[in-house]
């Protein structure tokens, strides 16, 4: 595996999840991640001309499931002048999926809560989808991360934002209950899916860490569901593939709150359904509607996304 040491327990877990596909999964884990950029339509108005000019200098490849994102043949897009001027955001292709899954209305007056927003990749993407209309409350518990969030909101021309510093692992005030039409919970996680760009992920990996994070994630999703209006949509996502942090968190939500899982339909995205059994424990059959994004299926990071409706 080159410079990546695969923990034996990690290998065993993914053999159980993927069977014969485990080898190709591990092979993709050692491949470098393709650079991907999102065109910021809040600043770039003539996207066709902008993309044409970029394509003359760098080889662009359209991300099949997102109309404003491209893989780019550039070793360091962060040195491009377009990045400096906030015209492009460097964002892995799989990371684009959660805001797309929210089905935000570009002309509506939606009141959106981004529970774990910093540094702002998905926040700025949602503002772009919403054409700076409606309102997004961008929240993060870390003051240092909020500084990065403010920087990105300003750099990318985002205007429909309120920034808050609520710790979502603690009970939120009841005055925040039933307020938001859409909520994104891109939860802090073990980051298993990011191994292609961060080789250190597996050196920190352990089942104990997964279980610790799962407890935190359940606290966050509990608060988020309480803050969601009836008939509102909550998208839960992680950049990990561990069932403890994904299906088990959603199973907890289904068992304790009035929510149901909805199908996620995104054209040209290869997905695998969520699992309904793990470590001998049966989980809700509705978890099949969750989507697992393995690196080998779309040549991206690994990701997990679920769409819930409050009933």
Q: Is 29 a catalytic residue?
A: no
Tokens of 59: 């080889």
Do residues 91 and 99 lie in contact, with contact meaning Cβ atoms separated by under 8 Å? no
> CA-CA-CA-CA torsion for 281, 287, 290, 295, nearest 10 degrees?
30
Tell me the C-alpha distance between 38 and 60, whole Å.
12
Q: Which residue has the tokens 């040195």?
A: 79
- DSSP three-state, residue 8: helix
DSSP state at residue 93: G
Residues 6+ apart with CB under 8 A from 79: none
The number of C-alpha atoms within 13 Å of 131 and in the hemisphere containing its C-beta is 6
Tokens of 196: 């292609």
Active-site residue identified among 36, 66, 189, 239: 239
Residues with a catalytic annotation lie at 239
């Amino acid at each position: 595996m080159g410079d990546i040491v695969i923990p034996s327990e990690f290998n065993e877990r993914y053999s159980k999840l993927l069977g014969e596909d485990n080898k190709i999964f591990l092979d993709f884990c050692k491949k470098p991640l393709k650079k991907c950029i999102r065109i910021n339509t809040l600043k770039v108005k003539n996207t066709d001309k902008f993309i044409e000019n970029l394509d003359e200098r760098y080889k662009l490849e359209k991300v099949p499931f997102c109309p404003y994102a491209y893989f780019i043949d550039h070793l360091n897009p962060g040195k491009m002048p377009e990045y400096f001027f906030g015209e492009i955001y460097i964002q892995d292709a799989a990371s684009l999926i959660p805001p797309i899954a929210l089905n935000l209305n570009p002309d509506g007056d939606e009141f959106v809560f981004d529970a774990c927003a910093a540094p702002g990749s998905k926040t700025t993407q949602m503002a772009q989808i919403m054409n700076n209309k409606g309102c997004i409350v961008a929240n993060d518990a870390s003051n240092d991360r909020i500084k990065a969030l403010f920087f990105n909101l300003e750099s990318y021309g985002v205007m429909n934002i309120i920034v808050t510093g609520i710790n979502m692992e603690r009970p939120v005030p009841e005055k925040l209950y039933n307020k938001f039409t859409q909520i994104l919970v891109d939860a802090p996680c073990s980051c298993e899916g990011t191994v292609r760009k961060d080789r250190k992920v597996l050196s920190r990996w352990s089942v104990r860490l997964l279980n610790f994070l799962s407890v935190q994630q359940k606290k966050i999703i509990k608060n988020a569901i309480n803050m969601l209006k009836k008939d509102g949509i909550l998208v839960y996502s992680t950049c990990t593939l561990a069932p403890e942090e994904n299906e088990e968190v959603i199973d907890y939500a289904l068992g304790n709150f009035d929510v149901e899982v909805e199908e996620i339909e995104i054209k040209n995205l290869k997905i695998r359904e969520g699992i309904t059994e793990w470590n001998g424990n049966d989980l809700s059959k509705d978890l099949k509607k969750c989507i697992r994004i393995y690196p080998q299926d779309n040549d991206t990071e690994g990701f997990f996304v679920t769409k819930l409706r409050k009933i």
